[in-house]
Amino acid sequence: MDNKNMDKLTKFVAMDCEMVGVGQGGVDDMVARVSIVNKFGDCIYDKFVKARKKVVDYRTSVSGIRKEDLENGEDFETVQKEVAELLRGRILVGHSVEYDLNVLFLSHPECNKRDTSRYKPFIKMNRGRTPSLKWLAKQKLGIDIHHGEHNSVEDAKVVMQVYCTVEERWEQALRRNEDIVESLESWNQRKLKMKLKPFQFC
């Protein structure tokens, strides 16, 4: 990793991944790009990841990923190791961040996660439904995102901005041991009811 980027690390970092489809019908996820920004939105990590399985669907219209991106990408093991090093001891901000950790075969302490998809005030704002990052960006930041191909750097920046709008309230609630974040089990059950893809616990 670039030492210059390491110098920009902050206690809070936000991560977003883009995925491609593998397996029968291309329904299984494989990480294709990993992007991490610091508290101020500076990109400190952004790498494409070489395919480890045959890609059935690049999902380009959404993921923005193309065949040549993966051919010129970094080995998965290297990316996994570098990301683990970056996240160690830090607060990880993300939207449905379990998916991103899962495709990297990584875990992170629950107390050090800030998942905007599981933040109960946001769920309440969205009438009891899991809010999308696009919806939160509009509601909390007044900006429109995801018109066409996604960009994991931009999404990481947006989720950090969204978190920062409620940071003080969120952190105070955690210090008071308030139940302000939905459990993974409850979050997964609600996604099933909404007929959204559930998170596969590993």
Task: Judge whether 199 lies within some domain.
Answer: no
Task: Judge whether 28 lies within some domain.
Answer: yes
pLDDT at position 148: 75
Instruction: Give the domain CATH number at 39.
Output: 3.30.420.10
The whole-angstrom separation of Cα 83 and Cα 98 is 14
Task: Judge whether 188 lies within some domain.
Answer: yes
Beta strands at 43-48 and 12-22: parallel, antiparallel or unpaired: unpaired
- Helical spans, DSSP H, in 150-193: 152-175, 184-193
Domain that holds residue 95: 3-193
Give the total number of structural domains in the chain: 1
* CA–CA distances in Å: residue 132 to residues 7, 81, 123, 143, 169: 32, 29, 10, 13, 21
H or E segment and range at residue 35: strand 28-38
Task: Judge whether 200 lies within some domain.
Answer: no
Task: Judge whether 198 lies within some domain.
Answer: no
Task: Judge whether 103 lies within some domain.
Answer: yes
Residue from 167, 89, 60, 52 nearest 121 by CA:
167
Strand partners, 91: 12
* CA–CA distances in Å: residue 185 to residues 16, 109, 118, 190, 194: 22, 16, 11, 9, 14
pLDDT at position 187: 75
Task: Judge whether 45 lies within some domain.
Answer: yes
Give pLDDT tens digits along the chain (202 positions): 555 677 789 999 999 999 999 999 999 999 999 999 999 999 999 999 999 999 999 999 889 999 999 999 999 999 999 999 999 999 999 999 999 999 999 999 999 999 999 999 999 999 988 999 999 999 999 999 977 788 999 999 999 999 999 999 999 999 999 999 998 888 777 767 665 554 443 2
Task: Judge whether 85 lies within some domain.
Answer: yes
pLDDT at position 198: 45
